[in-house]
């Protein structure tokens, strides 16, 4: 059972952006040379980790999943694209299960107080990566805060503060620049967790698609006219459920990991070839985040070397060198955005990162194909990630698979976006939509949608997080 099945209950405001930029790209001796950039680009990044203990996590709707530490910290990453004398748009990607209407409202209030009507609900979009390992309690609807036993101010404040600050960073870092776009497929980072349900679609519908899930990644590469590449945002569909419903550590899951990996890769290589570094195992820098640290044979020698270092002589602390000043300065430097990379979520619906398939935890045999059950019980059927039984390893592997494709798209991006900056934003009441349905024997009829409700599908859950009370999929 999980909140990811409640999309009809919490309808995030659909924001449809049509962003395109004009620039001239010249390639000379392998270096990018830009001239006359017509647009401004800015990127920001800020910590949004929030409370890491005694707070229920958002995603699986599991009352027993309470945070007790940090796997790795969460961040909000933003980009702003603007015309010097025209429109501008803001997109923020959160290491969180989802955005919240209440969070968005408060962020917009702060931006209006600071910038007037420059940033409003019309041109600011906030999205989540759908990790199921972040602190909950920050949404405004009762059904989403039941398992967190109500509203959690600490979770809410961390999100609002972090989003505001990362947008401020992006605004203050606006420089002339250009944007490239590239696309490619990732075949091993997501599978359909409800394949039997997909087969119920008409054959003519299924024949339109190459796979039973969307496997395309779309990447935007941001290049500053003076400094060169400064960041990238990409969209790819796979759930943030590499970390299981029993995990108690705050984590950005596979997408949060991939973002850290790519930022580390760029800092380490300067945007060079991912496969050229001698310290790379299977094409991936293993240093990145150390989710599963490697053991070192020379550990004792490293300890001896560390013990041999001598500290320099001290000096009296003056006002400017006070401990508080130095700590604040270090924190400011840590939050100063360098290269910003975001791995955003797209149409992840039934796309699972547990690519090995679903198996029964009691017998080890595959689950029943049509109902995702084991001996008639759905509670025993779980999907397995590529690092099974180690979910930390699964998180790393799925993150690295997204990283590999993102780096390839980043390094080969050459298509130029042209045109003016624009955006679209609409509110849709999904409880009052008219739908035309074909009738048996010919003709059609118009029907209306109704208010959302939690049904059997919600109670049954999925193979990423099975439900309870013997509810079954496919019934």
For residue 211, give both structure tokens: 């796979």
Q: Distance (Å, rounded) from C-alpha 119 to C-alpha 171? A: 10
Flag whether 268 is marked binding: no
Chain centroid offset of residue 265 CA? 18
Q: Tell me, yes or no, if 352 is annotated catalytic.
A: yes
Contact 48, 95 (CB under 8 A): yes
Q: Distance (Å, rounded) from C-alpha 246 to C-alpha 27? A: 50
C-alpha triplet 75, 80, 82: angle, nearest 5°: 180
Q: Distance (Å, rounded) from C-alpha 71 to C-alpha 228? A: 32
Flag whether 239 is marked binding: yes
- For β-strands 124-128 and 88-94, DSSP reports them as parallel
Q: Distance (Å, rounded) from C-alpha 449 to C-alpha 452? A: 9
Contact 20, 10 (CB under 8 A): no
* Neighbour count for residue 182 (Cβ, 10 Å): 21
Q: Distance (Å, rounded) from C-alpha 400 to C-alpha 405? A: 9
Phi and psi, residue 62, nearest 5°: -110, 110
At 17 the three-state DSSP class reads strand
Q: Of the residues 178, 251, 352, 372, which is catalytic?
A: 352
Binding-site residue positions for Zn(2+): 130, 239
Binding-site residue positions: 130, 239
**Known catalytic residues?**
352
């Amino acid at each position: 059972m999980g909140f990811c099945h409640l999309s009809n209950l919490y309808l995030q405001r659909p924001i449809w952006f049509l962003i395109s930029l004009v620039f001239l790209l010249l390639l000379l001796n392998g270096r990018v040379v830009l001239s006359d950039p017509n647009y401004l680009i800015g990127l920001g990044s800020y910590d949004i980790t929030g409370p890491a203990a005694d707070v229920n996590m958002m995603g699986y709707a599991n009352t027993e999943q309470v945070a007790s530490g940090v796997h790795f910290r969460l961040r909000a990453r933003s980009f702003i694209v603007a015309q010097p004398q025209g429109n501008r748009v803001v997109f923020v990607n959160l290491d969180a299960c989802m955005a919240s209407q209440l969070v968005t409202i408060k962020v917009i209030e702060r931006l209006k107080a600071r910038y007037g009507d420059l940033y409003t609900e019309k041109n600011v979009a906030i999205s989540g990566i759908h990790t199921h390992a972040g602190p909950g309690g920050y949404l405004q609807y009762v059904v989403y805060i039941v398992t967190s036993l109500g509203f959690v101010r600490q979770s809410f404040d961390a999100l609002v503060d972090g989003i505001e600050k990362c947008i401020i960073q992006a605004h203050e870092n606006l420089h002339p620049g250009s944007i490239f776009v590239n696309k490619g497929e990732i075949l091993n980072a997501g599978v359909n967790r409800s394949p039997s349900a997909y087969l119920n679609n008409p054959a003519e519908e299924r024949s339109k698609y190459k796979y039973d899930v969307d496997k395309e990644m779309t990447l935007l590469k941001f290049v500053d006219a003076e400094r060169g590449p400064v960041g990238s945002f990409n969209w790819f569909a796979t759930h943030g459920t590499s970390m299981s419903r029993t995990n108690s550590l705050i984590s950005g899951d596979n997408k949060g990991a991939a973002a850290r990996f790519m930022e580390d890769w760029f800092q380490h290589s300067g945007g060079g070839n991912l496969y050229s570094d001698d310290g790379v195992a299977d094409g991936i820098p293993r240093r990145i985040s150390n989710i599963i640290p490697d053991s070192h044979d020379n550990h004792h020698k490293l300890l001896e070397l560390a013990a041999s270092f001598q500290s320099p002589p001290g000096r009296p602390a003056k006002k400017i060198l006070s401990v508080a000043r130095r700590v604040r300065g270090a924190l400011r430097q840590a939050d100063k955005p360098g290269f910003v990379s975001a791995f955003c979520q797209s149409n992840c619906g039934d796309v699972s990162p547990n690519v090995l398939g679903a198996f029964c935890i009691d017998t080890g045999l595959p689950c029943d194909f049509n109902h995702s059950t084991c001996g008639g019980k759905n509670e025993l059927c779980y999907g397995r990630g590529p690092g099974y039984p180690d979910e930390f390893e699964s998180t790393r592997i799925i993150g690295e698979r997204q990283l590999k494709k993102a780096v390839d798209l980043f390094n080969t991006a050459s298509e130029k976006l042209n045109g003016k900056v624009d955006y679209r934003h609409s509110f849709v009441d999904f409880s009052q939509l008219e739908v035309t349905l074909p009738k048996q024997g010919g003709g059609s009829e118009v029907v209306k949608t109704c208010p959302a409700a939690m049904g059997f599908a919600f109670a049954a859950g999925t193979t990423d997080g099975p439900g309870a009370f013997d509810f079954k999929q496919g019934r």
